Amino acid sequence: MLVDIHNHILPGLDDGAQSMEEAILLATNGVANGVTHIIATPHHLNRKYTNSSTEVKEAVANLYRELSRKNIPLKILPGQEIHLTANILEELDNNLLTLANSGKYILIELPNNHIPTNTLEVFFQIQLKGYIPIIVHPERNAALRRNKQLLYEFVNKGALIQITASSLIGVNGRSIKKYTKVLIKHNLVHFIASDAHHYVKRPFLLKKAYQYVKKRFSESHVTYYCENAKHVLFGTEFLPLPPVGFKKTRHL
Ligand SMILES: [Fe+2]
């Protein structure tokens, strides 16, 4: 069982798959990477895209029907990649989807170049409501690349971190690859996900990423990330490895 907790496979909802054909090709790429369960996470509440829970669930049902018809052995579950907005707490009660609709984990995208000053407080409020926030690809956030200690603070206060497979194997540049490795060493990574958008331009790459983790770190790291993703699927909690802080902020 291999679970991908972040991707854009649902056709026509965002900048991911643009048609059912593209979604099927991306699904086939997922299967080739060993993926068995996909939690589909279209963008939500960012400046360009709004995808309500109802729309996401319908799109999941449509894609799953097509996959079954074509005998592609992949389960699809609903989710959202939620941009951190001012009204996220009110939205949480009404229209937001937890990952796999299991009531526990939510996928949160921070702005690209800065961290809103109230982020820690918002994460705290999210947790008070019984949810666990997962921050997506911090390696793509310039402010978090400059300030790893801040990321440590988020984790220390209960947030979890997902890095992207492509970043870890160097597709997004050497400095980003290096940053993701530092996060792994400091126990600041809880999930590796594909963030797949397109079967050629932004494919799954999970197989390569896990092979890299096994070679560069250990097999138990691979097991840890795979097991954590299963917990997200089932909505169960797990005990993360204790995060290790940084003595001082270093610039990449
Ligand atoms: Fe994404």
Q: DSSP letters of 31-83?
A: HHTT--EEEE--EESSSS----HHHHHHHHHHHHHHHHHTT---EEEE--EEE
Distance 80 CA to ligand 1 centre (A): 9
Which band of pLDDT confidence, cut at 50, 70 and 90, is reported for residue 100? very high
Could you say which architecture CATH assigns to the domain 3-234?
Answer: Alpha-Beta Barrel (3.20)
Q: Average model confidence (pLDDT) for the chain?
A: 95
In the chain, where the domains are located: 3-234
172 pLDDT exceeds 90? yes
Distance 137 CA to ligand 1 centre (A): 8
Distance 187 CA to ligand 1 centre (A): 22
Which band of pLDDT confidence, cut at 50, 70 and 90, is reported for residue 245? very high
Q: What angle do CA 181, 186, 192 make, to 5 degrees?
A: 50
Distance 41 CA to ligand 1 centre (A): 7
Tokens of 237: 């909690």
Distance 247 CA to ligand 1 centre (A): 31
Q: How far apart are CA 193 and CA 5, in angstroms?
A: 6
Of 10-14, 87-91, 92-96, minimum mean pLDDT range: 92-96
Distance 95 CA to ligand 1 centre (A): 19
Q: How many residues does the chain have?
A: 252
